[in-house]
Structures are given as C-alpha cells and as structure tokens.
Amino acid sequence: MSFENLNLHPLILKAIIDSGYTTPTAIQEQAIPELLAGHDIMASAQTGTGKTAAFMLPALHRLATPSSVHSRGPRVLVLTPTRELALQVSESAAKYGKHLPRVRVVSILGGMPYPLQNKLLSQPVDILVATPGRLIDHIQRGRIDFSRLEMLVLDEADRMLDMGFIDDVERIASATPATRQTLLFSATLDSAIDNVAARLLKAPKRIQVAAQQARLDNIEQRLHYVDDLSHKNRLLDHLLRDLALKQAIVFTATKRDADTLADNLSAQGHEAAALHGDMNQRDRTRTLTKLRGGALRVLVATDVAARGIDVVGITHVINFDLPKFAEDYVHRIGRTGRAGASGIAVSFASGKDGITLKKIERFTGQRIESHVVPGLEPRFKPRTGTGGAPSVAHKRNRTWANDGGRSSTPNSANGNWDNSRSRSFGDNRTGTRSTAAGNTFRNSSAPGSHFRTK
C-alpha cells in the first residue's frame, strides 16, 4: 500500500512527500479509506502510530472542496484531553495542509487569554482544535457557529473519559449537526468507550492496530530496586550522567515533587526543568520548545502534563515514582522510542511497589528485568517473581555497565521514517513558537512563512 493508492487530494499528497513519509502506517492504511468513504470510525491507536495523520489527511481532503453552507464556523473540530496534544494536532494540520489554499487552523485551549481567542473565533475557521472545557465556555457565549461542521474527532477519548471531560464532549457534540462524520480514537476500546461511541457515532467501523506488546518492542524496560528517596536521587544522578542519554523525561507522582526534583537536578548541574499542570501556558510552551530544540536535557514531569509529547530526541524515560495505573506506565514509556527509534525506560521500585509492578507487567504482558548499578545496590532483597531474579539482575548489570548505551543509539526501523521525523521536528519548533504567539496557523503558498518568528 502506498499513499498514492489512497486517493487523497494531490496537494495533500505533496505535503506527505515533503514530510518524507513513503508508506502509510497501519492505522492510516485502515482508517483513511473508511473516512474518505464517509464512515464513522472508532480506532484503538496510541500516539506514535501515526494516528494524527490518519484523521487529519481525510479532514484536509474534505476541506479541499468548498463547503455548500454559508458560514465562517469550523468544518472540522478536534477535541483533545490536553493542551499539548491539541498543539501537536494543530501543528500536524498546518504541516499536512500547507499546500492547500486558505486552510485556517485555530486552537482554543484552557489557560490562554479569552480576548485573543475571541478574536480568532470572530474570523473564518476551517479546523478548530480544542480542549473541551474552554470550548464549552465559548459555545455558551454564542461565539461558535457549527452550522457547517462536517467532521468531529475525539482524540484520546479514553483520556477525556478518565479526566472527567466526557459530559462536556457530549454537550459539544450535541451542538454540532447530526449529519457530521464522527471519529473516536482511544488507547483501548473497552465498554466505557463503547458506551460513548454508541451515543455519538453512527454504525462506526472498528479499527484496531498493533497490540500493546508490539508497540513496546523498541523500548528496553529496566527496573532498579530502591531503598529510599536518597537512594533514588543517587541512582538518578548516576543515570543522568550516562552520555548515551541524550534527552530524558523523569516522571514524579506529584507536581510538587516535579518542581523539587527539577530544582535539585539543576543544582547538581543537570539541564533540567519541570512541566506540570500548575504552570501557566507560557512557561509550559517555553519548556516544551526548549525540549524540542534540544536545549533541555531532562524534563521532570507529571503524567497529564507529559501526555502526547512527541520528541524524537528522548532516549530515556525514568519513572522516579511508579505510576498508579498500569495504563499510565505505557503512556509514559511511549515518550521514548518515537517513530522507529529505540528507547530505554527505567523504573524505580521500592519494597512497597510490588503490587503496582505486577499490575504493570500483567498489563503489558512483559516482564521488567531488574538491574543493579555497582556501588548503588539496594539493601533490601526483592522477592523473586517480581521484576526479575537476582541472577538475571547481575548479568544485566554487566550489560548495563559495559554496553556504553549501545541500545539507546537511535536505531531506525526504516530510513525514511527517521528522515520524516527530523523534518517534523523542525516544523514543530516553528509551529510551537507561532502557537505561543498567536495560536493560529494560516497556510500560504510559501510553506511555513507565517510560522516563523525569526
């Protein structure tokens, strides 16, 4: 299957070629024909599978034909659980739609000033990308005309459900025309998601890609048993001094811990900064821009803040604290090993974490092998059956000490994929800057000329 076979508009195909993509990913191959045929879909696919293009390319294909309805309102609405994901979707829309004339993408996110958003919404909009809470505010104030809306995308619907946004999502959907095409993307398709789909979608085609296990194949998972906080801090310092670690996301349980740890790491001489939901949007955007540009080596983050971060330079994810939910573990470690590269995910576990660890291993169907750093061995002896036997630990420990990080060297699954990633990396940087400034992308025939800020 090639992109040429998918019958997308030639100007969209041109942008795909510019992005360096040669073949559609599994989700794209399955979803795009269904979407072009006008069907609703519900798809299980996580970030990293190419799901954004799977819905954005058919969305743009629709926009290539003018609407018959006279309105300035959005023709495509994408709802996302987090601001970061919304910004990435907006950037993708700008990237894939750059050759199409007059495609206007607006993002409406919580935490951004209302006057600017009011201004953006008073002008014609083609693609609106929004987080549900803030969008409801604008709908209630009568600022959005959905009369020409053709497509509604619920991105990471499971997350919107978890975060309590689903009532807002349903209220927004009820404000849009019943004739719309509806797409639902979710990491898992369970009964809760089925209920949402039953209310909002019409005879959806179900699409399932890559089992959990396959998605983690390019990520090496390691476990370090820890005695206490001071042991964790010493181990982390050791891991961060590994030259094979290019960029890392370190996860903590709370926002406060993220701030404290980022401060401590900076004091130890690491290029570190925190990212969490209590920061204002300007600081979050600035931190993410630094991360994408390579100016930040260590991001200390909480689960929600780090969701959707797609930075190819991230070689390591470190779970300073284990996540409460096994599903979050998969989301966390998926921040490394992006787009065909390999990655390393290190988890710290104390004697109290046995059950959590077991739940994670059951969820992924994979055992996390334990490692020991010489001189930083844990005092307590974990029971066997959790996380790897001591003999394995010792053997793995030698690998850890001697491989010089070989396994974290980006290991491209296919050259084109890597090539495309570095291009999109560049796009992301300009896109993010313009987003911070004005939160809008306007396409022009000179690709990206409106996005650059310097």
Q: Which residues bind ligand AMP (CB under 6 A)?
A: 21, 24-25, 28, 47-53, 310, 339, 417, 420-421, 424
Q: How many angstroms separate the CA atoms of 140 and 180, rounded? A: 21
Nearer to ligand AMP, 310 or 361 (CB): 310
Nearer to ligand AMP, 26 or 175 (CB): 26
Smallest separation, CB 287 to ligand AMP (Å): 19
Nearer to ligand AMP, 95 or 231 (CB): 95
Nearer to ligand AMP, 388 or 431 (CB): 431
Nearer to ligand AMP, 100 or 262 (CB): 100
Q: Across the strands, what pairs with 4?
A: none
Smallest separation, CB 129 to ligand AMP (Å): 13
Smallest separation, CB 448 to ligand AMP (Å): 15
Smallest separation, CB 120 to ligand AMP (Å): 24
Smallest separation, CB 117 to ligand AMP (Å): 25
Q: How many angstroms separate the CA atoms of 363 and 212, rounded? A: 9
Q: How many angstroms separate the CA atoms of 210 and 264, rounded? A: 39
Spatial strand order of the sheet with 272-275 comes to 272-275, 298-301, 247-251, 314-319, 343-349, 219-225, 369-370
Nearer to ligand AMP, 80 or 424 (CB): 424
Residue 415 C-beta-side C-alpha neighbours within 13 Å:
0
Nearer to ligand AMP, 49 or 289 (CB): 49
Smallest separation, CB 55 to ligand AMP (Å): 9
Q: Name the token pair of 111.
A: 């935490």
Smallest separation, CB 430 to ligand AMP (Å): 15
